[in-house]
Chain A
Amino acid sequence: MNVKDIMVSEASGGAEETRQAPIENPVLKYMRRDRMPHIWCPGCGIGTAVNCFTRALDSSGLDMDKVAIVSGIGCTGRVAGYMDLDSFHTTHGRAIPFATGLHLSNPDLKVIVFSGDGDLFAIGGNHFLHAARRNMDMLVICINNYTYGMTGGQVAPTTPLKSTQSTMPFGNFEEPMNLPFIADAAGATYVARWTVFHVRQVVRAIKEGFEHKGFSFIEIMSPCPTLYLRRNKLGDGVDQVRWFKEHSVLKNGADTKDVALRAQDPISVGKFVERDAPTWLDSRNAQLASVLGARFVTTGGSDGHN
């Protein structure tokens, strides 16, 4: 019995004789089907996060012509290319400043950055700080799989202490970053962390990110079975998701300085920050209007011909 048969079977209460036309996967329409199969390994969590993203899109009510997705480089950097949206696969670490330019050039767009922990916080860390500081109106989704997957499992700014990576062959001795704490401190106005076990919470968080005005940050913990788990003898993707299930502790509203990740310690998950603050564009327009009055020309949204 294939997957479609099971879906039909379930939809019809298990009565084989009432089999109907195959039901289309409801979120496949958000994907570039002509780009399948994707590059991700069996057991990788990025696909689950993408599934959550498409389900959030599906229930968002957004006009898909007005949603743009931007990725950097790496395994998660490939997400943009699989989405049937205006999608931009940029340079390593620079998705956020590209997204800043796209958003300010056409504020009608809903701009999402979807990238990995190394891309956003090592090579791209400075851009993250400043976009958060500016409360630039965008949603940043970060897949944290503790490692550089695309290049073969090198130490990342998120790699737990003692973990072995190809460039930390004797165990990592660098303190990992606490991403929600950095986002919060820099000025992000929505900060959450979930794991790929928490699919419904991830969908809800992404929808909240769509609706939140300002800089939203969602960290999604995700297994890298090939280059993190196997090297550290932590099992496969399913084992890691089971571990996420059993060791996640819901801490909505937690002080972000208390949610640092420690190797194999419980993972604090939840919505840590949600606050109102003017976006960069709103602040800019208010300031210029107050000083220049009627001379200030607000920039048109989608008309690029002015």
Chain B
Amino acid sequence: MKASPEGVLTGVHFMDGDHAACEGALAAGCRFVAGYPITPSTEVVERFAARIPTVGGMFIQMEDELASSIAILGGAWGGKKVMTVTSGPGLSLMMEHIGLAVITEVPCVIVDVQRGGPSTGLPTLPAQADMMQVKWGSHGDYEIIALAPSSPQECFDLMIKAFNLAETWRCPVFFMMDEVVGHMVERVEIPPADQIEVVERRWSTKPPSEYRAYEPGPDLVPDMVKAGDGYHVHITGLTHDERGYPALNPAAQDRLVRRLSDKILKNADKMVDVREDGCDDADIIVVSYGITSRVADAAVDMARAAGLKVGSARLVVCWPFPDEVIRGYASRAKAIVVPEINLGQMVREVRRVVSCLPVYGVDHAGGSVHEPERILDVIKQAASDVGLAGGNGGRS
């Protein structure tokens, strides 16, 4: 269906990524946000607090991130599309409710405007070092979805996609911004509401007598209801059966936990979004995401100017990891370069799926984006190592 016009600020704007993310959430139909202030994410909730009273919806600043991250789950069961917003230290506090959202299958968007860590780290400076935390930070086995915008325009566009994925797959969706994308001011074009596709909640059409809260459909996702409609649902963070009742035995655990993972992994082809440039005949492919993609593009341009055949693959959806896409590069390219603002996180995933060609990380401890030349140097080193002309040393 189309976006509801009252939340859509149609027009051409000059705004930062935090504000654009807020506008994306409003356009996607988000009507409940609970948050707690934390640099560099606070502008998202500040704008939501200012905008929502005239759109129709609810904002509350909670007492901490533990509270914010579960207030949105209550908000979702009340029937609203929901979001919370934070940065690293707050994300750490939210981990228990990521697990609760996974096991109770609550559609929600969690924005993480990444900053340098660990701990208080670099509050006002960028990093991309929470990529593994969102995937593995809560206890137990689970799968989530994560997107990484690289510009204010994408903060708007991909936020709508994030909500649509959350509602489709009934799981937490992480919106992995960083301080630079959050505070960078650029042109943001917001289309008319009737040009924005939004996914509604998967409301059950069954009467209460036939409804079972965790009976999955063919895509492994159950339909949802909300409190107050006469369904008298029981929702628990305990392992549960299809009625939603606690079922504390290995068979029920196996059935539930496998389905929760399978609904993401077996449907990953419907979520994966890798934006490629010149990858078909490239010798070297630079795999990047978020703000680092824009720096990587500069390095790719320089490498091409130096005569190398270099492609760029940008992970718009980082989780589920695009195994098949990356594995496809192994049959065509000779090396993969993975720049990221951490000491080597997503590069592990690339190495996991690509075993037959060299993978070069370009790490960075955080606090700024890469210098393009650093990425270029690694591209040249890779070219040299695999015997391409134009690499360092120019063998062959």
Contacts and interface: CB of A to CB of B under 8 A. Distances in A.
B32 interface: yes
Contact of B63 (A65, A108, A127, A296): A127
A108 B230 CA distance: 13
A86 B78 CA distance: 11
Interface string A262-288: 000000000000000000000000001
B76 interface: yes
Nearest to B230: A65
Interface string A72-90: 0000000011001111111
A102 B82 CA distance: 11
Given A85-B232, A296-B54, A304 B238 contact: no
B369 interface: no
Contacts of A87: 232-235
Nearest to B71: A101
Given A84-B232, A88-B235, A127-B67, A295 B78 contact: no
A105 B235 contact: no
B307 interface: no
A302 interface: yes
Interface in A93-149: 93-94, 97-106, 108-109, 126-127, 129-130
B75 A89 contact: no
B227 A109 contact: yes
A302 B79 CA distance: 8
Given A94-B70, A297-B56, A299-B57, A126 B64 contact: yes
Given A89-B237, A97-B70, A299-B57, A104 B75 contact: yes
Contact of A297 (B55, B227, B237): B55
Contacts of B56: 297-300, 306
Nearest to B6: A297
Interface residues of A, number: 49
B47 interface: no
A233 interface: no
Contact of B245 (A81, A86, A296): A81
A15 B235 CA distance: 46
Contacts of A70: 74
B234 A306 contact: no
A131 B249 CA distance: 36
B229 interface: yes
Given A296-B54, A297-B55, A86 B63 contact: no
A292 interface: yes
A292 B49 CA distance: 13
Interface in B56-75: 56-58, 60, 62-64, 66-68, 70-75
B170 interface: no
A303 interface: yes
A80 B66 CA distance: 21
Contacts of A108: 228
A242 to B, nearest CB: 34
A86 B234 CA distance: 6
A85 B233 CA distance: 7
Contact of A66 (B77, B96, B228, B245): B228
A94 B64 CA distance: 11
Nearest to B234: A87
B234 A80 contact: yes
Most buried by B among A66, A87, A300, A303: A87
A35 B245 contact: yes
A32 interface: yes
Contacts of A68: 227-228
A305 to B, nearest CB: 7
Contacts of B77: 86, 88, 101-102, 105
A298 B52 CA distance: 10
B227 A86 contact: yes
A100 B228 contact: no
B53 A106 contact: no
Contact of A100 (B4, B60, B80, B100): B60
B192 interface: no
Contact of A97 (B31, B53, B74): B74
Given A32-B234, A304-B78, A304-B201, A90 B54 contact: no
A232 interface: no
B66 to A, nearest CB: 6
A20 interface: no
Interface of A: 32, 34-35, 64-66, 68, 70, 80-81, 84-91, 93-94, 97-106, 108-109, 126-127, 129-130, 288, 292, 295-300, 302-306
Given A88-B235, A102-B75, A102-B77, 20 more contacts: A68-B227, A68-B228, A81-B236, A81-B245, A86-B231, A89-B234, A91-B237, A93-B66, A94-B70, A94-B97, A98-B70, A102-B78, A105-B80, A106-B227, A109-B227, A127-B63, A295-B53, A297-B56, A305-B79, A306-B4
12 contacts: A65-B230, A65-B232, A90-B100, A97-B68, A100-B34, A101-B75, A105-B77, A297-B55, A299-B31, A302-B229, A304-B226, A306-B56
